[in-house]
Amino acid sequence: MESISSHMRQDHVLIDGIGARAVAAAEAGAWPALEREASEFLRRLRRHIEIEEQVLFAAFEQRTGMATGGPSVQMRVEHGQMQPILARMEAAVAARDGAGYQGATRALLEILVPHNQKEEQMMYPMLDAAMGDDAQALLADVRSMFA
Ligand SMILES: [Fe+2]
Ligand SMILES: [Fe+2]
C-alpha cells in the first residue's frame, strides 16, 4: 500500500529530474527546451509546495496540535525562502539568461536538497504515523490535487 511518504518522495524525484533537464537546457542555450522544462519544473514544485502546506501540513498540525514550533512550521519557513528564488528563475527564463537560471537553480538547491531530505526522513514519516488509519484518505485528497 502506498504511503504519504512514498508518494511525496516519488514527486521529489520526478521534480528533480525535470529540474536537471532545465539546467542542461540552460547550459546548452536551448531556449525552447529551457522554457518548456523550466515552466514544468516551476509549475510542479509550486503545486507540490501548495499540496504540502494546504493539505498535508494542515492535517498534521490539526492532528498533532503542533501548529507552532513543530517540524511543519520549519518546512513552511523554508518554502517561503524558496519563493523569491523561484521568481528569479522565472525571470531568467523570460530574459533567456541561461547563466542567471543556473545561478538561481544553485541557490534553490542549497535550500531544496536538505529540505527534501528532512521531509523524507522526518516530516512524511511523522505524517504517516500521525494520520494512522486516515493516511489513505488524506493520500486520496493529495492524488486528486496532483491529477
Ligand atoms: Fe516541502
Ligand atoms: Fe516535499
pLDDT at residue 145, rounded to an integer: 84
pLDDT at residue 68, rounded to an integer: 86
pLDDT at residue 67, rounded to an integer: 84
The pLDDT of 39-57, averaged and rounded, is: 97
pLDDT at residue 133, rounded to an integer: 92
Ligand 2 centroid–CA 97 distance in Å is 27
Phi-psi region of 133 (alpha: psi -120 to 50; beta: other; left: phi over 0): alpha
For residue 139, give the C-alpha cell: 493520500
131's CB contacts (< 8 A; 6+ apart) are 4, 59, 60, 63, 138
pLDDT at residue 146, rounded to an integer: 75
Determine the distance from the C-alpha atom of residue 24 to the mean position of all C-alpha atoms in its chain, rounded to a whole number.
Answer: 20
121's CB contacts (< 8 A; 6+ apart) are none
What domains can be seen in the chain, in order of their start residue? 4-146 (1.20.120)
Ligand 1 centroid–CA 76 distance in Å is 7
Ligand 1 centroid–CA 66 distance in Å is 17
Average pLDDT, the chain: 96
Using alpha carbons, select from 131, 139, 2, 142 the residue that is nearest to residue 59: 131
**Looking at the predicted structure, is the pLDDT value of residue 128 above 80?**
yes
Q: Are 50 and 132 in contact (CB under 8 A)?
A: no
Ligand 2 centroid–CA 74 distance in Å is 12
Ligand 2 centroid–CA 18 distance in Å is 15
Ligand 1 centroid–CA 69 distance in Å is 16
**Looking at the predicted structure, is the pLDDT value of residue 147 above 80?**
no
Ligand 2 centroid–CA 116 distance in Å is 6
Ligand 2 centroid–CA 8 distance in Å is 6
Percent of the chain with pLDDT over 90: 91
pTM greater than 0.85 (yes/no):
yes
Q: pLDDT tens for residues 55-103?
A: 999 999 999 998 888 999 999 999 999 999 999 999 999 999 999 999 9
